[in-house]
Amino acid sequence: MFIPTLLLTEPVDMEKSGLSMGEGFRDVIQKRAVNILQPGLIHAGGITETKKIASLALAYGIPLAPHIHATIGVAASIQLMASCTHTLAAEYITSGGSYDLRKILCGNCCMVDNEGYVPVPQEPGLGVRVDEEVLERFAVKG
For residue 81, what pLDDT is reported? 93
d(CA 125, CA 135): 19
Question: What's the predicted TM-score (pTM) here?
Answer: 0.76
Name the domain count of the chain.
Answer: 1
For residue 55, what pLDDT is reported? 94
Residue 18 confidence (pLDDT) above 60: no
Does the residue 1 lie in any domain? Answer: no
* Top-confidence residue, 41 or 8: 41
* Top-confidence residue, 116 or 96: 116
Q: What is the CATH number of the domain that holds 130?
A: 3.20.20.120
DSSP bridge pairs for 6: 37
For residue 73, what pLDDT is reported? 82
- Greatest CA span in the chain, whole angstroms? 53
Domain that holds residue 23: 6-138
Chain segment 24-76, per-residue pLDDT in tens = 788 888 888 888 888 888 878 889 988 999 999 999 999 998 888 766 788 89
Does the residue 89 lie in any domain? Answer: yes
